[in-house]
Amino acid sequence: MQFQILLNIVIAFIWMLLQNSFTIVHFVFGYIVGLGMLFFLRRFLRFDFYFRRVYAFIKLLLLFAYKLIEANWDLIKIILRPKMDITPGIIAVPTELKTDWEKTLLANLISLTPGTLTMDFSEDGDILYIHAINVPDKEKAIREIHESFEKAILEVTQ
């Protein structure tokens, strides 16, 4: 319930940004547009909302940003190497996350971290297939996924 209200307000703000005018009229209009959107999407909005999660979500966003910068640094080093001596490969990484929403977040986070790119899920969705640019580093990548990413995502969703 609360989550839906928050989502509604966010939609109203996005509407104001799109209109580039910050008046109460546009906020109200955006809110009405959001109401319509929520009405059509109500089937997908069953989970509830706590404020603690907003904080965890901001932490997750910062982790995203930090990892993105680190990934770029790593990639530049590989690209500018005169001889490209990489050993790419596809590795299977099991995940403990349960819901689709958590797995989607994890897949995105992996795609933006150094040397890894999510490629596919297994049938039951418990194993992620990751394309790694340097297979010898895979232990480090897997450990990072389990210890820092999964934990950060669980803080947001539980």
Partner 1 sequence: MIVMEVLVSILLLTGGLLSFLGSIGILRFPDVYGRLHAATKSATLGVIGILTGTFLYFLVMHDIFVGKVLLGIIFVFLTAPVGAFMISRAAYLTGVPLSKQTEQDDLKKARSEAEKAE
Residues of the shown chain interacting with partner 1 in the complex, contacts defined by CB under 8 A: 14, 16-18, 20, 22, 64, 68-69, 71-72, 75-76, 78-80, 84, 86-92, 107-109, 111-112, 115, 117-120, 122-123, 127, 129, 131, 133, 135
Identity of the residue, 33 or 117, whose beta carbon is nearer to partner 1 in the bound complex = 117
Residue type for position 1 = M
SS3 content of the chain, % helix, strand, coil (to 5): 65, 15, 20
Identity of the residue, 49 or 64, whose beta carbon is nearer to partner 1 in the bound complex = 64
Identity of the residue, 33 or 135, whose beta carbon is nearer to partner 1 in the bound complex = 135
**Which DSSP letter does residue 123 get?**
T
Please report how close the Cβ of residue 24 comes to partner 1 at its closest, in angstroms.
Answer: 16
- The C-alpha atoms of residue 58 and residue 156 are separated, in whole angstroms, by 9
129: helix, strand or coil: strand
